[in-house]
Amino acid sequence: MRFAKLVRRNLFRNKLRAILTMMLMAAIFFFVVTMMSILKAFDRYGNAGEGANRIVVQSAVSLATPLPFAHEAKLRLIPGVVDVCKMQWVGAYYKDKKDFFANFAVDHDHMQSVFDDYRVDPKEFEAFKNDRRGVLVGTELMQRFHWKIGDRITLKQQLFPYDPELTIRGIYQHPVNTAALYFHMDYHDEMMGNRGRVGTFWLKIKDPSKMAAISQQIDGMFKNSEDPTETVTEKQFQAGFMEMMGNVKLLFTSVSSSAVFMVILLAAITMSMSARERVTEIAVLKAIGFERRLVLTLMLCEFTLLTLCGGALGIGFAKVAFAFIPMGKVTQGFLAGFFIPNDSMVVSLAVAAGVGLLAGGWPAINATRLSVADGLRRVV
Amino acid sequence: MTTLVRIDKVRKIYKRDAFEVPVLNGITLDVPYGDFLALMGPSGSGKTTLLNLIAGIDRPTGGSITVEQREISNFTESALAGWRARHVGFIFQLYNLIPVLNAFENVELPLLLTKLSKRERRQHVETALNVVALGDRMFHYPRQLSGGQEQRVAIARAIVTDPTIIVADEPTGDLDAKNAQETLDLLQRLNEDFKKTIIMVTHDPKAAQHAKRTLHLEKGLLVEEGAPAAEAARA
């Protein structure tokens, strides 16, 4: 603590340089923590709620190929399957294409049993069940469009040849998925001409450790049918969506790593300048009795503090900004409920400190390695 | 007088790339307690090198340097740093104050290495700044002080730990005549009133006049020892 003042004063010895470096750090770490949080959000969707005990049965041909309703009865017979719920991605939008969000047709009789991580007021759920055109809406979506229960809404078709005309009967709560909409499978099937086909079956499994075996059993059962299946866990299913966009995780990680590498180089330039212009001062400190190790520690503290302050600024700004930015709206429901998690903040701050140590390490070691006599000779 | 510094056959050779440059060629010298010694000589004669060796910021190639019966040339870097903190006060030609610290904080720097409390440090710093008559400029930054005042702050920094030796390398080299005179008077006062042992490198015979004795170096050898009066006459 006795040297804190020296560190602090040196930190701002060139105010413009310090502020510019901090702003650079802030900008980069705003970006880094945002990238990390997006990756976390992807993971959260896959691991949300009780999803660890659900598997998804889809067509082995492609996700766009529907399976017959008839599969459901066979799936129910498999030991270990608690319940089955049909679900269809509808892909409609509200008013304008920019008002897109996730919307599904769901088997309302089995929805609560399979998706037990979704919370709905019992009265509202009852109203939803009793209305063929009833719909359950996520909290964020309700806020986004300023809807209220009882509102009639019409979605515009994209994938299927009808415009769903719906009445909001309830609001669901979910820790992650807060911007989706669920309406009756019956209504969807009727509008589709009672084809009796659906995109996916969601199965709740009694013992999660048996999910792999049950998945194999299901796929084996339909292997030689007209509609073969591919069964995956909920997490794999969500990951599959991500893979549709390419290896997003790799892309985000690469871009973030490049940003951090770039900032290390830029910080190293700043810190080298700072260390070089202080060679004589360092020599003076050593002359009056400061050990090299102490001088090195003080310089590293200063450099680390510089990147840490800048990083904290950017990370803090990201935390506040994303608390106010309606990401569900901005990303059309893709990142609904997005926020900067605390663990991403901690990791980003640690990276910011690491940047200070890495970027400042070499200049500080070089500056303090010079002998006192040589250091004094540089200027005198 | 009892010997404070004993320099015995000290040699110093600098290595510059493939070349060896001999700077000191076997110097033997005793500096007693309470001495005020001026080292003079042309550029490259080795006077600053000799001063650095006495102050423990450089190591001799051969020979030995003993201060208060302790052979400092064998100290590790860390031990030397500790020894300098306790025994040596430095005054440089360009003052070398830390620009981001005010006068008080600059003078306090060597005390940060001691176990003194904040209150004790404050007392020491105020005393040192009062000795150099800068008690009223305690919170001024170096850029807010004149050259002479900066050098006085540097002197306060050098004496604040009450060191055994004060080494001064061209302390008046960057000052005008008036400030140079004030600085030299101050050094003389430290020597006479506070019994500080001072070793000063200077080009200026008038500055050397303030010392008790003067030594001349040429090509790394001591060539003569003169009294201040003789130096003055030569000037």
Asked if B82 and A291 come within 8 Å (Cβ–Cβ), the reply is yes
Contact assignment for A373 to B58 by CB distance below 8 Å: yes
d(CA A194, CA A60): 23
What element of type H or E holds A86?
strand A81-89
Q: Is the pLDDT of residue B233 over 50?
A: no
CB pairs under 8 A between A and B: 75
Give yes or no for residue A345 having a pLDDT over 90: yes
Using an 8 Å CB-CB cutoff, list chain A residues near B81.
Answer: 286, 289-292
The domain made up of B34-56+77-234 has a fold known as Rossmann fold (3.40.50)
Nearest neighbour of B94 by CB, restricted to A3, A285, A380: A380
Q: What is the mean pLDDT of residues A343-361?
A: 92
Mean pLDDT of A289-317: 95
Q: CB neighbours of A29 closer than 8 A, spacing ≥ 6?
A: A310, A311, A313, A314, A315, A318, A348, A351, A352
* Cβ–Cβ below 8 Å for B57 and A376: yes
Report the alpha-carbon distance of residue A199 to residue A75 in Å, rounded.
Answer: 15
Question: pLDDT at position A135, please?
Answer: 95
Residues found in chain B: 235
Q: CB distance from A7 to chain B under 8 Å?
A: no
Q: How confident is the model at residue A333 (pLDDT cuts 50, 70, 90)?
A: low
pLDDT 10s digits, A91-128 = 898 988 878 888 999 999 999 999 988 999 999 999 99
Query: Look-up: residue for tokens 């010298």?
Result: B29
> CA–CA separation, A337 vs A176, rounded Å?
6
DSSP state of B133: T
Question: A288–B101: do the CB atoms touch at under 8 Å?
Answer: no
Q: What token pair was written down for A380?
A: 């005198």
- CA pair distance B219, A355, nearest whole angstrom: 49
Mean of pLDDT values over B183-188? 93
* d(CA B157, nearest CA chain A) in Å: 9
Mean pLDDT of the A23-43 span: 88
A244-269 pLDDT tens trace = 656 777 888 888 888 888 888 888 88
A378 pLDDT band (50/70/90 cuts)? low
DSSP string across B172-208: TTTS-HHHHHHHHHHHHHHHHTS--EEEEE-S-HHHH
Helix or strand or coil: residue A65? coil
Share of chain B above pLDDT 90, in %: 79
Mean pLDDT across the stretch A132-141?
A: 92
Q: What residues of A are in contact with residue B93 (Cβ under 8 Å)?
A: 380
**Structure confidence by residue, pLDDT tens digits, A46-76:** 555 445 789 999 999 988 899 999 999 999 9
> Which of A178-182, A341-345, B137-141 is predicted with the least confidence, judged by mean pLDDT?
A178-182
More confident residue, B11 or A380: B11
DSSP A52: G
Asked if A30 and A352 touch (Cβ cutoff 8 Å), the reply is no
pLDDT tens digits along A194-226: 889 999 999 999 998 899 999 999 999 999 999
Report the distance separating Cα A93 and Cα A159, nearest Å. Answer: 10
Indicate the residue of A280, A288, A379 with minimum beta-carbon distance to B90: A288
- Please answer whether residues A216 and A225 qualify as being in contact, where contact means their C-beta atoms are separated by less than 8 angstroms: no
Is the per-residue pLDDT at A374 higher than 90? no
At residue B7, the pLDDT reads: 94
**Cβ density class A323-338: b for 16+ within 10 Å, e for less:** eeeebbbebbbbbbbb
Chain B: residue nearest A2 by CA?
B112
What is the number of alpha carbons within 13 Å of residue A295 lying toward its C-beta? 29
Overall average pLDDT of the B201-205 stretch = 91
The pLDDT value recorded for residue B66 is 94
Look over chain B and give the mean of its residue pLDDT values, rounded to a whole number: 90
Query: Which residue of chain A is at minimal alpha-carbon distance from B169?
Result: A380
The terminus-to-terminus CA distance of chain A in angstroms comes to: 32
Residue extents of the structural domains in chain B: 34-56+77-234
Distance CA A303, CA A25 (A): 12
The predicted pLDDT at position A332 comes to 65
Say how far apart CA B222 and CA B216 lie, in whole Å. Answer: 6
Beta carbons of B100 and A10 less than 8 Å apart: yes
Q: Who has greater pLDDT, A310 or A241?
A: A310
Q: Are strands A102-106 and A180-184 parallel, antiparallel or unpaired?
A: parallel
Residue count (chain A): 380
What is the residue-averaged pLDDT of chain A?
Answer: 89
Average pLDDT of span B185-193: 93
| Residues of chain B contacting A295 with CB distance shorter than 8 Å | none
Min Cα–Cα distance to chain A from B91, Å: 10
CB-closest option in A289, A292, A380 to B113: A289
Question: Residues of B near A (CB-CB distance < 8 A)?
Answer: 49, 52, 55, 57-58, 77-78, 81-82, 84-86, 88, 90, 92-94, 96, 98-101, 105, 109-110, 112-113, 157, 169
**Contact yes or no for B57 and A373 at CB 8 A:** yes
The 10s digit of each residue's pLDDT in B3-56 is: 999 999 999 998 888 888 999 999 999 999 999 999 999 988 999 999 999 999
CA-nearest of B4, B9, B40, B43 to B24 is B9
The amino acid at A240: G
pLDDT at B234 over 80: no
Instruction: Give the model's pLDDT for residue B16.
Output: 80
Which of A1-15, A41-55, A291-305 is predicted with the least confidence, judged by mean pLDDT? A41-55
Q: Beta partners for A103? A: A181
Q: Do B98 and A6 touch (CB under 8 A)?
A: yes
Amino acid at site B13: I
% of chain B exceeding 70 in pLDDT: 94
Q: Are B110 and A289 in contact (CB under 8 A)?
A: yes
Q: In B, which residues are within 8 Å of A288 by CB distance?
A: 84-85, 90, 109-110, 113, 157
Residue A170 to residue A125: CA distance in whole angstroms: 6
Q: Which two tokens stand for residue B26?
A: 């076997």
Preferred mutation among B15, B72, B88, B92 to probe A, highest tally of A CBs within 10 A: B92
Give residue A129's Cα distance to chain centre.
32
Which DSSP symbol is given to A133? Answer: T
